[in-house]
Amino acid sequence: MKMPVLVLCAALVFAPVPKSAGVNGQEKKPDLAAFEEVLRKDFEERGLPGAAVAIISGDRIVYSKMFGVSNIETGAPVTPDTLFLMGVTSRIFVSAALLSLAEEEKTELTEPIGDYIPGLNPRVAKVSIHQLLSNTAGMKHERYRYGPHDDKELEQYVHALSEKYFFADPGKTFSNSSASFALAAYVAEQLGHKPFPDVMKDRFFKKLGMYRSTFRQDVAMTYPLSQGHETSGVSAPVVIRPFVDNAIYRADGMMYSTLNDVARFAIAFLNDGKFEGRQILSPSVIAKISTPVAQVYGTNVLEEGKYGYGMLIYNYRGVRVLENDSVWLGFSARFRMVPEHRFAIIILANSNVGGFHETVDKAFETFMLVTPRLEVKPKTALKIDEAEMQKYVGQYFNPPDEIEIVLKDGQLVFKQIGIELPMSKIGDQRFQIQPPGSPGTIELKMKTGEDGKIEFMYSSLRAFKKVR
């Protein structure tokens, strides 16, 4: 199979491109040619089949470009209206929709959902919308590529939820959870009195003019739809089959959307909910999503970031960033917003390869005056004595995953599914491991409880409770 021919659609630049204020109050004129050179290089080096890119500044798209093909087998080009699977970036839109519904129905975010949804397990009934959307419900993270297709399966799943779906008490800690967003979808059904995909369509997407966005695969198929691709960088990309579908976990990763639709949301978000002079999103919903509500540990990028509703919130190069990126089952999405500068960058791609770090960085430099990028230096391993090592030894649990840390030949060792990896201390209760065959490392963060003993280990936006 031949590699795809690079297809470039005409850039849609809405003149005049505004000057951008930076962190020191100065102004600069964007150099679009320099930005596009970095973007093109990023795209080509990754061997991606296709991508759609937009930059928002102020209240409009100031740069838009389509690359490549939506399907390696048909050669259909990517357009601004091509649908992509959004993966966990879907959570931003689910959060905004559920917050809007709660506001319209006068439902308190901290109120137990059992107060207005009967028949739930007693522990499930105590969870709140706030905890679900902030990933602080203490619920596990499940893998769900394929499953049932019927709308009624979500209700059956929710009413079957029990204590075994919790690894920690609600409100205790942040941990990425697909089960939380599945339950959030059911709450949306109850408030909207329709199946979740129809609530999203009728109570949210239509209001924002996101007419092609959908959580229904059979609807997405009726529009130009990009296919997910497995890309190794060595051999030609291949279409991933079958296409992912699971009615239970739609809210956690199965939104289909286009560059144009996501851009409409971003413009409204950055302009107090207004788009082309119309109020299409509540300012209070924007404020809630933009407010940090949970502490995040255990990521290679963030020493200690924050989480709002459906979005990471952190400071980068002197600006405050809201983000939810996704790499999942043949698709990847990059969605970054800087509300204080009314700036956003959107990158949708039909490949399992993530990245675009250089492109995002160049966009920040092009449209804002940011601080210099700090050089990332390898972390030096620190000394650790046996008494400290013994504090971390034990089993850590977050269903369905279990991790064990053991002391072996004077070295802490991370054990999971038969793999043993030595742990290096790199900071206060911070460690890193090197997976086999991976150029990068994974960071681990330990956290003590009120009794002074280790209570949780954090890794890749998930918490694992120490059980022994």
For residue 458, with 0-12 CB atoms within 10 Å meaning exposed, 13-18 middle and 19 or more buried, which class applies? Answer: buried
Strands (E), 47-184: 50-57, 60-68, 84-85
- What pLDDT does 302 receive? 58
What is the pLDDT confidence band of residue 12, given thresholds at 50, 70 and 90?
very low
Name 313's Cβ contacts closer than 8 Å, sequence gap at least 6.
290, 292, 305, 306, 307, 320, 321, 322, 323
Q: What pLDDT digit, counting tens, does each position of 92-105 carry?
A: 999 999 999 999 99
Give the tens place of pLDDT for each residue, 62-74.
999 999 999 999 9
Backbone dihedral region for residue 356 (phi beyond 0: left; psi -120 to 50: alpha; all else: beta) = left
pLDDT bin (cut points 50, 70, 90) of residue 41 is very high
Query: Is the pLDDT at 241 greater than 80, yes or no?
Result: yes
| Other C-beta atoms lying within 10 Å of the C-beta of residue 153 | 14
Question: How do residues 164-217 score in pLDDT, each as one tens digit?
Answer: 999 999 999 999 999 999 999 999 999 999 999 999 999 999 999 999 999 999
Token digits of residue 1: 């199979």
pLDDT, position 301: 55
Mean pLDDT (the chain, rounded): 90
239 burial via Cβ count (<10 Å: 0-12, 13-18, 19+) = middle
* pLDDT (mean) for 270-283: 96
Identify the CA nearest to 304 among candidates 406, 432, 447, 171: 447
Instruction: Flag whether pLDDT at 10 surpasses 80.
Output: no
Q: Which domains does the chain have, with CATH numbers?
A: 1-376 (3.40.710.10), 386-466 (2.40.128.50)
Least confident range of 8-12, 147-151, 340-344, 355-359: 8-12
Place of tokens 């003993």: 453
pTM of the model: 0.91
User: How confident is the model at residue 247, as a pLDDT?
Assistant: 95
17: confidence class by pLDDT, cuts 50, 70, 90: very low
